[in-house]
Amino acid sequence: MNRKMRMPVIAGNWKMNNGPAAAEKLVGEIKPFAETTGCEVVLCVPYVSLQAALAAAAGTGIKIGAQNCHWAPSGAFTGEVSAEMLKELGVPYVIVGHSERRQYFGETDGTVHDRTRAALDAGLKVILCVGELKAQRLSGITAEVVRLQTKLALEGVSAEEVEQRVVIAYEPVWAIGTGLTATPEQANEVNALIRALIAELYSAQTAERTVIQYGGSMNDANAGELLAQPDIDGGLIGGASLSAEKFAAIIKAASA
């Protein structure tokens, strides 16, 4: 990370874990460790746990996020939740384009773009996920895949929005939930190419100000060396974010 230019963001993605009661408990356990000015702490929780998490995090530095949002403000979209509804609830962050949504729920680069745009229009901050499949890495097309995903998602997004309200999370799909972490060098290489793309699309200044996280089996043991890389500005953490102790250690590593 480059602290002079960017504040690291440590975000937990709880995925489909922790209903309201468990959310209240875990936010409470994380609270004492989140009182740091060294990084921004975000917890992305299931929709049904948003209110409990917001209440439990009130008065602390912890920001609460959702894990997806629809691209329309309202309408006949059974089972969906709009960015405007999240805004109304007081939710500041939303994850868009997570690989599990791309893999299991038909998310495409087009819908990722539309959801990103809707979230920004509603005034939310977006954690935009990109990353290659194992087969794509083995075929040597990681750079092309990640560049394309990022470029399509950010079409029509302004430099100011990217700098202030978009966090890009590089999450190699083969590293998610597998215990296989990208090496710090592998992760930094892709984060650096995303930053170079931002410079190409916007400017060197915007690239320097854009927060780019790494996600994929980040945990208390490996966070330090990943976060020491110059282009890794935080993490999007799945499994390890379900343990207050492990998540606290990652917050500490980012605040060091």
Among 150, 217, 222, 229, binds ligand 13P (CB under 6 A): 217
Query: Is there a catalytic annotation at residue 144?
Result: no
140 versus 179: smaller Cβ distance to ligand 13P: 179
Tokens 């773009």 correspond to what residue?
Answer: 113
Q: Taking CB under 6 A as the rule, does residue 131 contact ligand 13P?
A: no
Q: Taking CB under 6 A as the rule, does residue 236 contact ligand 13P?
A: yes
Q: 153 and 127 in contact (C-beta within 8 Å)?
A: no
Say how far apart CA 81 and CA 84 lie, in whole Å. Answer: 8
Stretch of 22-30, 145-153, 232-240, 243-251 lying at the interface with ligand 13P (CB under 6 A): 232-240
Q: Which of residues 144-183 bind ligand 13P (CB under 6 A)?
A: 171, 176-177
Q: Retrieve residue 20's tokens.
A: 């309201």
Among 238, 248, 249, 254, binds ligand 13P (CB under 6 A): 238
Q: Closest separation between CB of residue 148 and ligand 13P, Å? A: 20
Q: Taking CB under 6 A as the rule, does residue 244 contact ligand 13P?
A: no
Stretch of 79-87, 107-115, 230-238, 246-254 lying at the interface with ligand 13P (CB under 6 A): 230-238
162: which residues sit within 8 A by CB, 6+ positions away?
154, 198, 202, 206, 210
63: nearest Cα among 38, 32, 27: 27
In 10 A of CB 39, how many CB atoms?
26
Cα 213 to chain centroid distance, Å, stands at 7
33 versus 214: smaller Cβ distance to ligand 13P: 214
Query: Is there a catalytic annotation at residue 100?
Result: no
Q: Which of 40, 70, 98, 100 is catalytic?
A: 98
Secondary structure class of 235 (helix, strand, coil): strand
Q: Retrieve residue 235's tokens.
A: 């993490």
Q: Which of 40, 84, 163, 171 is catalytic?
A: 171
Size of the site for ligand 13P (CB under 6 A): 14
Say how far apart CA 3 and CA 189 lie, in whole Å. Answer: 19
* Active site residue ranges: 98, 171
